[in-house]
């Protein structure tokens, strides 16, 4: 599904204004999505000469976490948080965008998701070490790196390869303990780390010399090697550093994404036409309430929303019933 449809109209997630309706299933070759206008992104701000106060940094981090709380509450992991995917307007309002790598996962634990995930510089150690069982904690690592970049105005860990990225991480937070190393699922990675010289953690108050102590403490809790001990988004919002911004009643949650919204991920042999049909019907959901009602009824009954596409059934029925008139023309 289009996750920005699911997260629509929430302040810290990019809003979708419209999806243009194709003339027909047969003529459908392009997708045109209209989102709200945001002037820039956090990457451009970090690279610019524009002055950023500590209050600016705090406000941006709070907004990221506020949006992430909403996303995680739906049992969704973003998996590609980086400054470029954080849009900002002239009022310093921030919106999370680009859900192309996001996944809905039960119990916030992803199993066997080995496809491409977040850009290397923002990738947590569990992904660099090929864990296939990972959690929403991966997003918190990315937020910690982004927070650090806001403070330093440059990349914190610009690794040139996966192994170089790991070495840079260990240079910052220290070599993992023996217990942590033994948790790593692959022997070759355990061997690689055990053969490295022992590195102590660098004092973060020296790395971020101008940052307040509570900001440094929050970063340290985000950049924790053991993802089971890494701070959660709820805990991060309750951290003393954000106490002047934290307002629980204004930090919304979302019901969990139903399994069948991501049913397509269970199939690895979909044809190009089947993918096209799936996307086409997603667009119909946006435009036709009755079609959306039928779709949601199936989900509520734990019925497949894709079976008719596999069987090439109901195709003409869907088109005849919902494609004659564009409600927006």
* pLDDT tens for each residue of 73-92: 999 999 999 999 999 999 99
Q: CA–CA separation, 299 vs 301, rounded Å?
A: 5
Mean pLDDT value across residues 202-220: 97
pLDDT at 170: 98
Q: Which residues contact 130 (CB under 8 A, 6 or more apart)?
A: 114, 185, 186, 189
Select from 3.40.710.10, 3.90.1170.50, 1.10.3720.10, 1.10.510.10 the CATH code of 38-250: 1.10.510.10
Tell me the C-alpha distance between 282 and 191, whole Å.
47
6: which 2 tokens? Answer: 């699911």
Residue 109: the pLDDT is 52
Q: Is 30 a catalytic residue?
A: no
122-126 LR contacts (CB < 8 Å, sep 24+): 122/81, 122/82, 122/146, 123/165, 124/227, 125/166, 125/169, 125/176, 125/225, 126/227
What are the residue boundaries of the structural domains of the chain, listed by start?
A: 3-34+258-322, 38-250
The residue ranges of DSSP E strands in 184-275, in sequence order, are none
pTM recorded for the entire structure = 0.86
Rounded Cα distance, 21 and 31, in Å? 9
> Which one is catalytic: 41, 49, 55, 80?
80
For 16, the token pair is 């979708």
DSSP type of residue 266: G
**Largest Cα span, the chain:** 68
Interval 57-74: pLDDT, tens: 999 999 999 999 999 999
């Amino acid at each position: 599904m289009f996750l920005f449809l699911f997260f629509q109209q929430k302040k810290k997630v990019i809003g979708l204004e419209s999806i243009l309706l194709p003339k027909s299933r047969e003529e459908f070759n392009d997708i045109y999505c209209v989102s709200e206008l945001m002037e820039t992104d956090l990457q451009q701000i970090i690279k610019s000469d524009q002055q950023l106060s500590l209050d600016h940094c705090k406000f941006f981090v709070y907004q990221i976490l506020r949006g992430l709380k909403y996303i995680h509450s739906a049992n969704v992991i973003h998996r590609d948080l980086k400054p470029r995917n954080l849009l900002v307007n002239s009022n310093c309002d921030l919106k999370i965008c680009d859900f192309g790598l996001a996944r809905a996962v039960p119990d916030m634990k992803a199993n066997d998701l080995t496809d491409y995930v977040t850009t290397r510089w923002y990738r947590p150690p569990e992904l660099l070490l090929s864990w296939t069982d990972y959690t929403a904690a991966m997003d918190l690592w990315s937020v910690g790196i982004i927070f650090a970049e806001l403070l330093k105005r440059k990349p914190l860990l610009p690794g040139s390869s996966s192994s170089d990225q790991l070495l840079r991480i260990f240079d910052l937070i220290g070599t993992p303990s023996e217990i942590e190393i033994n948790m790593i699922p692959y022997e070759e990675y355990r061997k690689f780390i055990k053969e490295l010289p022992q590195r102590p953690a660098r004092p973060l108050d020296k790395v971020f010399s101008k940052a307040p102590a509570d900001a440094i403490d929050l970063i340290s809790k985000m950049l924790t090697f053991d993802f089971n001990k890494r701070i959660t988004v709820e805990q991060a919002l309750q951290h003393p550093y954000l106490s002047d911004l934290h307002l629980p009643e204004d930090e919304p949650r979302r019901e969990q994404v139903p399994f069948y919204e991501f049913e397509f991920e269970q199939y690895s042999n979909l044809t190009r036409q089947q993918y096209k049909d799936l996307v086409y019907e997603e667009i119909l959901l946006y435009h036709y309430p009755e079609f959306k009602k039928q779709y949601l009824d199936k989900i509520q009954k734990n019925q497949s929303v894709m079976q008719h596409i596999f069987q090439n059934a109901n195709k003409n029925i869907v088109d005849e019933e919902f494609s004659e008139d564009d409600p927006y023309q």
